Structure 1
Amino acid sequence: MADTAKTTRVDNAYERLKAEILMNRMPPGFQAPEPEIAVRLGMSRTPVREALIRLEADGLVELIPRRGARVLPVYADDMRDIYEILTALEPEAAAQLAQRNLDRDAIGELEAATADMEHALAHNDLDAWAEADDRFHRKLLRLHGNRRMTGFAETLFGQVHRARMITLRLRQPPVRSTQEHREILENILAGDSEQARATYRRHRQRANRELMAILEDYRLPQL
C-alpha cells in the first residue's frame, strides 16, 4: 500500500510539472532548486525529485547538482529530428486506420478533437486549439493500437507541444493545419489509405517548415 501511495504521488508530481513545462508556465531557462519546486506544487521533495528524474529522461529538464532543475531550451536540431521521426510513423498509422473501414463512431475521439480545433480557431482561442491538436495526434496513435509506437511517440509529442506553445503566436493562425486534420479524418473514414498517408505527411512536413523558420531565422531569445 505504501509503495502504491508513493507511486501515485510521483505520478502526480510528474504530470503537474510536465503540464507546467508544456504550457510554458515554466518556460525554457526556468531554474529552481528542488525545495522551491516542491513548495510550488505543495508536495514533499521525494516525489518531486523522482518526477524530475523522469522529466530529465523525457528531455524536458536538466538536473544540476546542488542547483536543482533547469527547463531545457527548444533546440531547432532536436525538433528537426523529432519531426522526421513523426513524419515516418504517423502517416503510416493513419493509412492503416483507413484500411480498417472504421465508421464515425469508431473514431469519435478524433472527430471531437477536430471539431474542437475548428471551434477554437473560430473563436481565436489558440491555447484551446493547441490542446485539441495535441489530443488529435495522441488519440490517432492510441486508436491505431501499437502500444510500443504509442509509448515511444508520447515523449516526442510532449516536446512538439512545448515548441508549439512557444511559437504559436508567432505564426499565422492555424487555418491550414485545421483543414488538414479534417482532411485526414475524412480520408480515414473514406477508407483511402494512400490519401490519408499523403495528407498526413504533407501536414507534418509543412508544420516542420513553419517551426524551423521561427527557430532558425528568428532565433528567439527564450530558446
Structure 2
Amino acid sequence: MTTTLVTGANKGLGLETTRRLIAAGHTVYAGIRDLASGGAAREFGAIPVQLDVTDQDSVDKAIAALPELDVLINNAAIVGTSWGLDDLDVEAMRMAFETNVFGIVRVTQAALPLLRRSSNPVIVNVASGLGFPRALLDPDDDSFNGYMVPYASSKAAVITLTVQYAKNLPRMRINASDPGYTATDLNQHSGHQSVTEGTDATVALALLGPDGPTGEFHSRRGHITY
C-alpha cells in the first residue's frame, strides 16, 4: 500500500488530487489547516490531519502522526494580496513565499526521514506556468495575462526548488506540476479547465515508479522543457 500526504487537501486541486489517488489505491492523509473543513476529504476516504504549512509546530505534529510515507504532494498555496505594482510591497512578497515556498521546505524537510525509508519515494511540488518565464512571455499562453508579482515569483522559486531537491536526492522522484488555468477559488473559478484536468499532471507524477523522471516540470500534456 502506498501512503501519501497531500497538503492543502480540503478543496480545489488538493481535494481532487486526494480523491484520485485514493481511487488509485493510495492511503491518503489529507493535510488540512482547519479540520472542520475536511468533510469532503473524509467522504472520499482520506485521513484528515491538521497541517498548516506556515507553522513549524503544526508541520512537525502532522508528520509525526504518519506511520510511513511514500508520496508527498506539496499542493498548499495562496495567491496573496498583490495583483499589480501599485499594491506591491515586501509584506505581500513575504506572505506568498511563506506559504508557497517556505511551506514546501518546512513540510519536505520534516518528511524526509519517512520518505528515505520508502522503497519508492516521490515528491510532487505543485507549481504553475506563471512561474515559468517562457510561458509568461508567450502571448498565446494563459500565463501571459497574469501580472501578479508575488505569486508568479513564488512559483518560479518552486520550480527551481524542485530541480535542486532532485539533484540532492537522486534516489527519489521529485518533480513539479503545472495545473494550467483551472477553475478554483484562487482565480474565482475563472479558469477554463476542470479540477480533474488541473490535477492530471500532479496525479501522473505521484504515480511514478523508481525509473520515472526526476527534476522535471510537467503539465497535463507532458514534460515542459526548461
TM category, shorter:
0.3 to 0.5
Q: Which structure has the larger Rg?
A: 1
The TM-score with structure 2 as length reference comes to 0.32
| Greater RCO (Cα-Cα under 8 Å, separation 6 or more) | 1
Higher strand share: 2
* Bigger share in helix: 1
